[in-house]
Amino acid sequence: MTQTQVEFILIRYGELALKGKNRKKFEDQLAQNIRTTMSGLNIQVKRVFGRMYVYLNGEDYHKVASKLQKVFGIKSFSPALKSELDVEKIKETALYAIQRLPQKPHTFKVNTRRPNKSFPYASAEMNRHIGAHILVNTEDIKVDVHDPDVEVLVEIREDAAYIMSEKVEGSGGLPVGTSGKAMLMLSGGIDSPVAGYLCMKRGLRVEGVHFHSYPFTSERAKQKVVDLSQKLTQFVGQVKLHVVPFTEIQTEIKKHVPEEYSITIMRRIMVRITEKLAELNRAKALATGDNVGQVASQTIESMHTINEVTNYPILRPLVTMDKLEIIDIAKSIDTYDISILPYEDCCTVFQPKNPKTKPTRKQANRFEERLDLAQLIDNAVEKTEVLRLTPETQGETKEEEHHKAINDLF
């Protein structure tokens, strides 16, 4: 084993460090989420006295680090290099730790911890030895003990010394699963996957709900939502997607509801169905990609009329953002290119020419009396298809899409 190998990664917490007596619960969830995200890799996660370590056991550091950066609840992390319990070896490894940084620092300080009390040098002595070695063997760098560009952490344990100099930023937020569960209404557009991402960042476990109106909408439109859901698995390891057959309901709306109210009634029924799925799956909230003023169903009057049909909280994390902010996040989480694929969803296919922008609850209730709502909703919930997605299923899905594309040619 050489000194250049990363042995483990030190995890630093974000907000969960402030959770007082509940901190252990949050740490346990974070450890479980890391294990789930690293499924298939031979790593170990250990929590020790308020710190967490990921032991690589020979796995590639860059592969593990890439996955860690997407786990919510991690503020930052540092790779640890291993050295023999020999002063000269420790100094060499510390120097290498400075030299391997992506950006050359102008200032540094050394901070030694010595759990191994039998080691013959005290922490302050080690700071001086290591600091001097770095100064002699590098150019244009000096010591700053108050505000250094880089802090070289040296931990002297019973088996070896471990040196850390690099600090990699994590995603922050709270571990997914610590804030309960929400049902996310996924249309296939740009906004709803971003809403799901932001919900997960606040610790919510998310299950997707997609309304599919085949043959008015194509199998490609459904596949697009499957692909978006799979992109969300990179932050939590697995996502459940409910695909609701919506053709019968949309046909009935078109027959019995004035065109300008069709979007309002459609959204109210979608909310009712999502609430039923929430009950069945023990979720306590609904989530949407709504944004004030973006389309007709996203005026305050529309939201007021739509909210009437559920007592569940409807989370709208994008409500104050402008479109460019949402697009920036969509690009950063790699959902944007999928969302802009030209496969229409059930909302756009049945989009009226002049949708009501200020619908009222009284009118909506009057039009809904023309529909057998209970039966329509029960049928849709009963026939809902459930897909369980993980990062590993992506290849199979792409392969199926490839076959569909070939079949479409004939």
In tens, the pLDDT along 149-175 reads 999 999 999 889 999 999 999 999 999
In tens, the pLDDT along 200-239 reads 999 999 999 999 988 777 788 889 999 999 999 989 888 9
pLDDT at residue 348, as a whole number: 66
In tens, the pLDDT along 38-51 reads 888 999 999 877 77
Asked whether 316 and 290 are in contact (CB, 8 A), the reply is: yes
What average pLDDT does range 115-144 have in this prediction?
94
* CA triple 272-274-280, angle to 5 deg: 110
In tens, the pLDDT along 71-86 reads 999 999 999 999 999 9
Asked whether 258 and 366 are in contact (CB, 8 A), the reply is: no
pLDDT at residue 2, as a whole number: 42
pLDDT at residue 397, as a whole number: 44
Q: What is the 3 state secondary structure string of the chain?
A: CCCCCEEEEEEEECHHHHCHHHHHHHHHHHHHHHHHHCCCCCCEEEEECCEEEEECCCCCHHHHHHHHCCCCCEEEEEEEEEECCCHHHHHHHHHHHHHCCCCCCCEEEEEEECCCCCCCCCHHHHHHHHHHHHHHHCCCCEECCCCCCEEEEEEECCCCEEEECCCEECCCCECCCCCCEEEEECCCCCHHHHHHHHHHHECCEEEEEEEECCCCCCHHHHHHHHHHHHHHHHHCCCEEEEEEECHHHHHHHHHHCCHHHHHHHHHHHHHHHHHHHHHHCCCCEEECCCCCCCCHHHCHHHHHHHHCCCCCCEECCCCCCCHHHHHHHHHHCCCHHHHCCCCCCHHHHCCCCCCCCCCCHHHHHHHHCCCCHHHHHHHHHHCCEEEEECHHHHHHHHHHHHHHHHHHCC
Angle between helices 373-382 and 262-280 (to 10 degrees): 50
pLDDT at residue 341, as a whole number: 85
- Residue 345: pLDDT band by 50, 70, 90 thresholds? low
pLDDT at residue 214, as a whole number: 82
